[in-house]
Copies of this chain bind each other. A is one copy, B any other.
Amino acid sequence: MSKHQKEITALKEHLGKHQLKCTRQRELILDAFLKQEHITAEAMYHQLAKKDPHLGLATIYRTLNLFCEAGLAQARHFGTQTQYDNVSHKGHHDHLICTDCGKIVEFENCDIERLQEEVAARNGFTIKTHRLELYGLCSRCRH
């Protein structure tokens, strides 16, 4: 019994609803993905090469995008690459980023999210996702 049974079920539900099939590759990629906070397709490609040397990069991209559609992942453009965030546990994924050493701290703040909803409503928008990144210096780099 996997630790991530809930997410596995969620994916299968999505697959069923959309006439998609449950493949070995999708299960393999999901299993690896759920162990991460966030990962790039390229990183996952190298990571999974050990388990399945023939797993194609295109399949990883396709599958991670599938996870986004299924609501398990969320794509985020960071630098030149796309990070796929694991949002199956937390609803959102905000970041504090040290511009000096690159350290990333993740946080969540309900008050900020409530205010975001207000701003959106005031402008006639319905928010689906958001992205908040705070750039600065961590305590160590400030000195």
The 8 Å CB contact of A136, one of B96, B112, B126, B139, is B126
Do residues B125 and A115 form an inter-chain contact, with CB atoms below 8 A?
no
Do residues A127 and B134 form an inter-chain contact, with CB atoms below 8 A?
yes
Do residues A125 and B137 form an inter-chain contact, with CB atoms below 8 A?
yes
A37→B141 CA distance, assembly (Å): 32
Cβ of A142 to closest chain B Cβ, rounded Å: 6
Residues of A in contact with B (beta carbons under 8 Å apart): 77-80, 96, 98-99, 105, 107, 109, 111-112, 115-116, 119-120, 123-139, 142
9 closest Cβ pairs, A-B complex: A124-B139, A77-B77, A127-B136, A128-B136, A130-B134, A131-B133, A126-B136, A125-B136, A129-B135
